[in-house]
Amino acid sequence: MRDSRPTLLTGAAGVLGRWLRPRLIEAYGSVRSSDVVDPAPALPGEETSVVDLADFDAVEGIVKGAGRIIHFGGISYETSFDRILSSNILGTYNVFEAARRHGAGPIVYASSNHAIGFYTRDDRLDVRVPKRPDSLYGVSKAFGEDLASLFFDKYGVESACLRIGTARPDPIDPRHLSTWHSYDDLLRLIEACFAAPHLGCTVLYGVSNNDRSWWSNEGAPHVDYRPQDNAEDFAATLIPDGDTRDMAAPEVKYQGGPFVSDGYVKR
């Protein structure tokens, strides 16, 4: 899809944002990079700004005139409901509402595997399974997905909600053998979303081509995502004696791992 308007990236000062910025500039030309902490220094082809996503006027300022939006801003861990409410729930609403008002988009939204974290490691999930959030953070991502659905059905704002697994340079934990999403594959997924002729409102798993993946994107064939990396390459290092973890422990039994066990009360 050709769009000469600048691409907007929220969450630009985060680990993923910093990795993505030069690559997005290379792929799409000018990029507006914003974060609640200063994402400076700006790269050639980039404008940076400090924006609190809870402030609608400030969000409108960066969305107006933008084309593609990569909404990676917000809190990426479990914390108090007040913080989640302002950063993730109000913040995501503000991005979608500003996009609707100003004709910006499509939006690639960083949802999370924690929207479905209470499925067990024996479950195999497609993109249509009911959500089972494992944390208030996961609830905020489930909210974002529902908001994306509403904004497409009611207003035609196109989006992809990426249920990102574990995006990091290498897998470092046995759970990551299932959940790992390499940075290169994350970029491939974002590019595939923007290249789709009609994105509609699509849910996708952000995961590499892992032998032990729990998740399938087969239900979204209109997004031509072909992951190249496989966490299995790290299995011999991560579990040299096989998987010896306690399979009944909540952080092992459930897909959300430590987000499940945080505050978990055995019923």
Select 32 or 175, whichever has its Cβ closest to ligand 15L: 175
Select 6 or 257, whichever has its Cβ closest to ligand 15L: 257
Rounded to the nearest whole angstrom, what is the least distance from the CB of residue 30 to ligand 15L in the complex?
27
Tell how strand 7-10 and strand 69-71 pair up. Answer: parallel
Select 6 or 144, whichever has its Cβ closest to ligand 15L: 144
Asked if the peptide bond before residue 106 counts as cis, ω within 30 degrees of 0, the response is yes
Instruction: Please report whether residue 112 would count as binding ligand 15L according to CB under 6 A.
Output: yes
Query: Catalytic: 137?
Result: yes
Q: Among 79, 72, 75, which Cα is nearest to 88's?
A: 75
Q: Which stretch binds ligand 15L (CB under 6 A): 111-119, 120-128, 146-154, 245-253?
A: 111-119
Rounded to the nearest whole angstrom, what is the least distance from the CB of residue 90 to ligand 15L in the complex?
18
Q: Which stretch binds ligand 15L (CB under 6 A): 61-69, 107-115, 151-159, 242-250?
A: 107-115
Residue 230's contacts (CB-CB under 8 Å, 6 or more residues apart) are 208, 209, 210, 211
- CA–CA distance, 221 with 245 (Å, rounded to integer): 35
Select 96 or 254, whichever has its Cβ closest to ligand 15L: 254
Q: Among 252, 248, 228, which Cα is nearest to 239's?
A: 252
Catalytic residue, candidates 28, 137, 225, 254: 137
- Report CA-CA distances (Å) from 6 to 69, 107, 263: 9, 13, 42
Residue 220's contacts (CB-CB under 8 Å, 6 or more residues apart) are 127, 202, 203, 204
User: Is 249 within 8 Å of 242 (Cβ atoms)?
Assistant: no
Instruction: Please report whether residue 140 would count as binding ligand 15L according to CB under 6 A.
Output: no
Instruction: Please report whether residue 114 would count as binding ligand 15L according to CB under 6 A.
Output: yes
Instruction: Please report whether residue 230 would count as binding ligand 15L according to CB under 6 A.
Output: no
Instruction: Please report whether residue 166 would count as binding ligand 15L according to CB under 6 A.
Output: yes
Say how many residues touch ligand 15L, by CB under 6 A. Answer: 8
Alpha carbons within 13 A on the beta-carbon side of 166: 23
Binding site for ligand 15L (CB under 6 A): 76-77, 112-114, 166, 179, 257
Active site members: 137
